[in-house]
Structure 1
């Protein structure tokens, strides 16, 4: 009887070790998790039917090129304040970020466009939208960092207006230049594991190819460029 008991204990230990080994193998071989945060740009708005995040959008391209598992949490129309609130209160956002290995952050364009419209181009009115956006951006990165030590790719704001828009393109260039400098400063001050993707310079003077006609959203080629600079920021291209 004692001999049988010892045999069964040995079998149980062996089975236990097999389960442990299988679990470890799954952990090692599991795909890394990529969480994309942002607005309609992240979502891939107007690339297809808009019923779900587009597989033509830059987060999907990055995920495909790196064999990561993607959770696209882009929300059309989202502002920096709304994203900050979601990261603080929405469990879907918080849990996704907690388990992320890489997080992309593309937010602030709606804040900028709302300020541009509210002030009819007046830079003083615009600044009343930009100052809170910059504060939110720093708080967003800190909130992400409180949930995960994942690497963060932070994008700046590209000019969404075509060159032929009665001088609007060049005026927006003038406005965005110092704003993007401030975004870079905010990103730099948040610490390590945050890399910067310069969408503004990547798109400059190429809006006819990278922005949809009569729209402010990127073309499929524009999304390829956003993916490219994101991969470069990660050191993967």
Structure 2
């Protein structure tokens, strides 16, 4: 199964890597993760990362060349495997001055899909998913730190279903508290910063596409702006 996932990931990346070079810059930004940095559903066919995805906006405003390695549907476990084993990922990341990471949404969405909604989900199941997610993010950041001297920007997880109210916002708040603690710990010995997508999207359902879980263009702009703030500080 691991080999199958690896091969699928590799085939995805061969098709999806889209360097962004409006600016003739020697500085590089590499985006990794799932469909959020990919800009899923902002174009008709989703064949390639959308030029409206937030990594490209960051690149345009900061004068950085961007390579988008986002893979729709990617989980945190699959990202760990790609960063450790996929040479497309590894060789691209080595040249990065900035690595932008958004991952974890599919870990949680897969649990919701399994139960066909939030009802019936036991806290023990949530705890296992959160534990694995945090460990995978830790493993990913540690490997990124080995590969590059660049700054690592880790986005936490916004609420994809704001209409669910407290039934989802409270668990997500807990998850992001743990996320924040992890990045704070890692920041003492790696070049990593947390980018708070959760707070930026809180109270703004208009940042999410209707009947979808992905950001609108406005939501992507917000993700770009909060990332730029961390780059400039």
CA distance in 2, matches of 1:121, 1:174: 14
Question: How far apart, CA to CA, are the structure 1 residues paired with 2:157 and 2:25?
Answer: 33
Alpha carbons 2:35, 2:70 under 8 Å: kept: yes
Distance, in Å, in 1 between the alignment partners of 2:183 and 2:223 is: 18
Residues 76-87 of structure 1 mapped to structure 2, 5 A cutoff: 76-87=72-83
The aligned residue for residue 222 of structure 1 is 219
| 2:65 corresponds to | 69
Output the CA distance in 1 between the equivalents of 2:72 and 2:195: 21
Counting matched residue pairs gives 203
Match of 1:128 in 2: 128
Rate the CA distance shift 1:146–1:170 in 2: closer, same or farther, 3 A. same
Matches of 2:136 and 2:70, distance apart in 1: 17
Q: Using the TM superposition, give the Cα deviation of residue 116 of structure 1 relative to its aligned residue in structure 2, in angstroms.
A: 3.2
1:198 is matched with 196
Distance 1:218 1:38 in 2: 15
- Once the two structures are TM-superposed, the CA of residue 178 in structure 1 deviates from its matched residue by 1.1
Q: For 2:168, which of 166, 172, 178 is the aligned residue?
A: 172
Distance in 2, Cα, partners of 1:181 & 1:174 = 11
User: How do 1:36-55 and structure 2 match up within 5 A?
Assistant: 36-49=31-44, 50-55=46-51
Could you say which structure has the larger radius of gyration? 1
TM-score, normalised to structure 2, is: 0.84
How many angstroms does 1:171 deviate by? 1.2
Change (3 A) 1:30 1:48: closer
CA deviations over 1:186-234 (Å, ceiling 9, x no partner): 1112134211110001001101x10000000000000000001101111
Gaps of 5+ in 2: 1-23
- Equivalent position SS for 2:91: helix
CA distance in 2, matches of 1:66, 1:232: 10
Task: Give the CA deviation at 1:75.
Answer: 0.2
Asked if the contact 1:40–1:76 (Cα under 8 Å) also holds between the matched residues in 2, the reply is yes
SS of 2:67 mapped into structure 1: strand
| Cα displacement string for residues 11-55 of structure 1 (whole angstroms, at most 9, x for unaligned residues) | xxxxxxxxxxxxxxxxxx842010001100010000003010000
Q: For residue 159 of structure 1, what is the aligned residue in structure 2?
A: 159
Instruction: Determine if contact 1:42/1:57 at 8 Å carries over to the other structure.
Output: yes
Residues 115 and 128 in structure 1, CA contact (< 8 A), matched pair in contact too: no
Report the Cα distance in structure 2 between the residues aligned to 1:63 and 1:197, rounded to whole angstroms: 16
Which 5+ residue runs of structure 1 have no aligned equivalent?
Answer: 1-28
Give the Cα–Cα distance (whole angstroms) in 1 for the partners of residues 25 and 41 of structure 2: 32
* Alignment of 1:118 onto 2:81: no
CA distance in 1, matches of 2:217, 2:89: 26
Note if contact 1:42-1:72 (Cα within 8 Å) is conserved in structure 2.
yes
> Which deviates further from its counterpart, 83-92 or 182-191?
182-191
